[in-house]
Amino acid sequence: MNKSVTFLLTSLLMVLGLSACDSSTQTSSAESSTGAPEQSMTDQAETASTEAAMPATLADILAAQPDDVVARYTYRNPEQTLNFFGIEPGMTVVEALPGGGWYSKLLLPYLGSDGELIGANYPVSMYELFGWSEERLAKAASWTTDWPITAKGWVEGDTANVSAFVLGDLAEEQKGTADAVLLIRALHNLARFEADHGHLSAALGNVFDVLKPGGIVGVVQHAAPDSADDAWANGSRGYLKQAFVIEQMQAAGFEYVSASDINANPQDLPGAEDSVWRLPPTLAGSKDDAERAAAMQAIGESNRMTLKFMKPTA
């Protein structure tokens, strides 16, 4: 082979080699600057999915509530109260007398899709004792069907399953299914009608039955002064004595665990003619009396006992 041909072949091989090196360098450089693009996108998608699936914290849920709800945290202390009772995401929780959903709207997102919120209402026979109209009684009669639908519409996203029952009429399949029961300002009317109709004992019997062994009952109740007359503190004015509540819960089979002053308000000192509804938010008797309304607002919401009980494990 002559020198010219050898020189041309050598030059061609050098060009091809440089071209390959440039291509390899460019690829390596691109990979080092961007990483592995497909893998990075997958990781990002998985991270976003994980973040989306994470339930909101209780603090986040509380912070997202409307101003009128947040304004009542001073007296209702929902974060401290739920923590004291040990309520956690994924639990099955019974909320007695959920009403318009003040606590329900916190519990639904907090319990999350792995949890369940079960509403428990007074029986129609008890509402009849209030002198309700036929129309209101008819709505109460369909409450176990209507309330879950309404409650599911209160909160969007990753929320708990919802069901309901009437106190005194717990279905057999519901027994032993709940981790906790919340009796928040729900006991005074039951106690009021206990002597003649047995509503308190029937309700507490259901509370005991619906709980799993070791399940918790959280009580928040308007607290009568220890010095108050027992007849006055029978629930008709909204107040019950703490000793009475503990006695009734123990008689129903529960173990007393502990008490907290989370929801105490020492400024609430009711007189013999007073009811709890004189205070905010109801302000009964203050409609045309601005001075009285201001005095009640200065007291704030009622003094409340906060008690924790447990269903025995054996």
Q: Which residue has the higher pLDDT, 19 or 104?
A: 104
In this predicted structure, the answer to whether residue 266 has a pLDDT above a threshold of 90 is: yes
Instruction: Give percent of the chain above pLDDT 70.
Output: 82
Contact 185, 245 (CB under 8 A): no
In this predicted structure, the answer to whether residue 242 has a pLDDT above a threshold of 50 is: yes
Cis, bond preceding 281 (omega within 30 deg of 0): yes
State the pLDDT confidence band at 48, using cuts at 50, 70 and 90.
very low
* Structure confidence at residue 83 (pLDDT): 98
* Structure confidence at residue 106 (pLDDT): 98
- Comparing 36-50, 109-123, 154-168, 240-254, the range with the smallest average pLDDT is 36-50
Contact 218, 266 (CB under 8 A): no
In this predicted structure, the answer to whether residue 151 has a pLDDT above a threshold of 50 is: yes
d(CA 123, CA 165): 9
Query: What mean pLDDT comes out for the span 293-300?
Result: 97
DSSP state of 97: S
In this predicted structure, the answer to whether residue 31 has a pLDDT above a threshold of 70 is: no
**Dihedral, CA of residue 154, residue 219, residue 67 and residue 109, to nearest 10:** -40
Give the 3-state secondary structure of residue 122. Answer: coil
Helical (H) or strand (E) element with 207: helix 199-210
d(CA 110, CA 58): 6
State the pLDDT confidence band at 314, using cuts at 50, 70 and 90.
confident
The full set of domain ranges for the chain reads: 3-47, 56-310
Bridge-partner residues for 164, per DSSP? 119
* Structure confidence at residue 44 (pLDDT): 53
Burial class (CB in 10 A: 0-12, 13-18, 19+), 299: middle
Return mean pLDDT, the chain. 88
d(CA 132, CA 164): 21
**Dihedral, CA of residue 305, residue 121, residue 69 and residue 185, to nearest 10:** -10
Sheet strand arrangement including 116-121: 161-166, 116-121, 92-96, 178-184, 211-222, 304-310, 255-260
pTM of this prediction?
0.83
- Using CA of residue 248, residue 249, residue 255, residue 261, what is the dihedral sign? negative
* Structure confidence at residue 186 (pLDDT): 97
Query: What mean pLDDT comes out for the span 33-48?
Result: 46
d(CA 121, CA 128): 14
Q: Which range scores top for mean pLDDT: 11-25, 50-64, 235-249? A: 235-249
The architecture that CATH gives domain 56-310 is 3-Layer(aba) Sandwich (3.40)
State the pLDDT confidence band at 241, using cuts at 50, 70 and 90.
very high
* Structure confidence at residue 43 (pLDDT): 53
